[in-house]
């Protein structure tokens, strides 16, 4: 792209494109990155400059960008069949994917329902759970309230928004969201979280439909990490009190936390598991909501009992074919074993960062590291953005969550790129801390 072409592109963008999670007047004053190509853990902009991708593009491209096998799988499926619906008919990629995906799941999860993004994977789970209770032999219409955790993030659609407890994302819509009770998070205090869940279930289980949780890491809420012990309690308690357990592995699945699914670390089987993001290797919008036999059985019988849900692109063959190839690449390239080495380097880097005055709660789990700058802040803080600018100037893309600086690179990021990424995070954080110190005098 010539400099003129690039300028024209940016001018047209500012005129016509409305960007997600982006305040557009500030955006229009700045100069956006124009990404033209990507390969492995690197993005290439319109000037030909390379950036190490520190967040795998919103946590999706876990096998790196444009993995040649995924690109080939996409092209070869496109030549055969680009789309047919899954309503009452079927195609090979969906069948193959459901079998391969269920094989990865905790025992007892048996039936894969496909949608096209993480929010709809959660939305489908919400509706599945509600309809499940209304279709019991003694219908339980009153079991319609959901439990979620403080600091939770589950997506963008209205049902998913209701489950969220990130104030900045939720507050504009609070007048129209369904009732959800947000319980103390184990990321803040494990014992308190367990006792609060127990108390809530003891008192109100007859009106509660399901508990929805992000296992081990609450992602968009600020990369808050917690012990698998909570998941064990959550499973035991929900079972005891007759409440469904929905585990949202949209971010944590596909090896991010060290195991293929985060809930494996607690050896639990939820009633429903939601997956997206890494599922299609950051190539296409694709998602799955995987249910137990007991859930599935409740939808058998006359036509009115069918699960009343289905997006136009549910189970799209292109996405399904790529998702099948993703699973094969995990096996053939032993991606989880490679992730162990990367996890160790991230952990060491976070330990070094923890030493800096001004850095709080430096933490890591699997191929995910995070730290807080300052003690308060939240999503609207600009401290993380100052680190973003400092890192970008050094060729690293590091989108923050307010005052939380984190890295979630591809699980197979080349080790030399990872070392460069970690060194850049460390110097960029230091630069911003020094600026703060000199301002304070």
Q: Which is nearer to ligand PLP, 241 or 397 (by Cβ)?
A: 397
Residue nearest to ligand PLP (CB): 118
Residue 274 tokens read as 């939601």
Q: How far is the CB of 176 from ligand PLP (least distance, A)?
A: 19
**20: number of CA atoms within 13 Å, CB side?**
4
Distance CA 350, CA 337 (A): 21
Q: Which is nearer to ligand PLP, 283 or 359 (by Cβ)?
A: 283
Q: Which is nearer to ligand PLP, 279 or 421 (by Cβ)?
A: 279
Which residues are near ligand PLP by CB under 6 A? Answer: 117-119, 122, 153-156, 214, 219-220, 248, 250-251, 276
Closest CA to 243 of 123, 105, 110, 140: 140
Q: Which is nearer to ligand PLP, 143 or 154 (by Cβ)?
A: 154
Q: Which is nearer to ligand PLP, 105 or 276 (by Cβ)?
A: 276
Q: How far is the CB of 162 from ligand PLP (least distance, A)?
A: 13
Distance CA 59, CA 341 (A): 19
Q: How many CB atoms lie within 10 A of CB 308?
A: 10
Closest CA to 106 of 274, 240, 263, 295: 263
Q: How far is the CB of 337 from ligand PLP (least distance, A)?
A: 25
Q: At what angle do helices 317-332 and 335-354 cross, to 10 degrees?
A: 80
Q: How far is the CB of 356 from ligand PLP (least distance, A)?
A: 28
**Positive or negative, the Cα torsion across 344, 350, 355, 360?**
negative
Q: How far is the CB of 116 from ligand PLP (least distance, A)?
A: 8
Which residues, including other chains, have CB under 8 Å from residue 242's CB and lie 6 or more apart?
205
Is 254 in contact with 218 (CB distance < 8 Å)? no
Q: Which is nearer to ligand PLP, 200 or 248 (by Cβ)?
A: 248
Closest CA to 67 of 332, 384, 351: 332
Q: Which is nearer to ligand PLP, 219 or 369 (by Cβ)?
A: 219
Q: How far is the CB of 219 from ligand PLP (least distance, A)?
A: 4
Q: How far is the CB of 138 from ligand PLP (least distance, A)?
A: 32
């Amino acid at each position: 792209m010539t400099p003129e072409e690039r300028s024209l592109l940016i001018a047209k963008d500012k005129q016509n494109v409305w960007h997600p999670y982006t305040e557009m007047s500030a955006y229009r004053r700045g100069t956006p990155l124009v990404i033209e190509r990507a390969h492995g853990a690197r993005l290439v902009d319109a000037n030909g400059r390379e950036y190490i991708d520190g967040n795998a593009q919103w946590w999706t491209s876990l096998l790196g960008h444009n993995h040649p096998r995924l690109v080939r799988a996409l092209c070869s499926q496109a030549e055969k069949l680009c789309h047919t619906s899954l309503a009452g008919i079927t195609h090979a990629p969906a069948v193959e994917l459901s079998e391969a995906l269920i094989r990865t799941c905790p025992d007892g999860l048996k039936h894969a329902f496909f949608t096209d993004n993480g929010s709809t994977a959660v939305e489908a789970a919400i509706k599945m759970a509600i309809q499940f209770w209304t279709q019991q032999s003694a219908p339980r219409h009153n079991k319609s309230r959901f439990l979620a955790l403080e600091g939770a993030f589950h997506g963008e659609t209205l049902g998913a928004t209701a489950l969220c407890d990130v104030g900045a994302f939720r507050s504009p819509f609070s007048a129209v969201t369904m009732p959800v009770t947000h319980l103390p998070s184990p990321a803040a205090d494990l014992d308190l979280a367990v006792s609060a869940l127990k108390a809530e279930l003891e008192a109100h289980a007859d009106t509660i439909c399901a508990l929805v949780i992000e296992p081990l890491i609450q992602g968009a809420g600020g990369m808050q990490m917690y012990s698998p012990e909570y998941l064990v309690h959550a499973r035991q308690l929900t079972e005891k009190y007759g409440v469904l357990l929905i585990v949202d592995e949209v971010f944590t699945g596909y090896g991010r936390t060290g195991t293929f699914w985060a809930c494996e670390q607690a050896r639990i089987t939820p009633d429903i598991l939601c997956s997206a993001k890494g599922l299609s290797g950051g190539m296409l919008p694709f998602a799955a909501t995987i249910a137990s036999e007991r859930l599935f059985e409740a939808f058998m019988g006359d036509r009115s009992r069918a699960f009343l849900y289905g997006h136009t692109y549910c189970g799209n063959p292109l996405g399904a074919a790529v998702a099948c190839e993703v699973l094969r690449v995990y096996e053939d390239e032993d991606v989880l074993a490679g992730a162990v080495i990367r996890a160790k380097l991230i952990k060491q880097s976070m330990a070094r960062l923890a030493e800096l005055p001004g850095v709080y709660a430096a933490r890591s789990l699997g191929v995910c590291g995070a730290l807080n700058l300052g003690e308060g802040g939240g999503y609207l803080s600009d401290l993380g953005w100052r680190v973003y600018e400092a890192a970008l100037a050094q060729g690293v893309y590091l989108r923050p969550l307010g005052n939380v600086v984190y890295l979630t690179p591809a699980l197979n990021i080349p080790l030399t790129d990872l070392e460069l990424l970690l060194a850049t995070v460390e110097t960029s954080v230091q630069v911003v801390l020094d600026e703060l110190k000199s301002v304070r005098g």
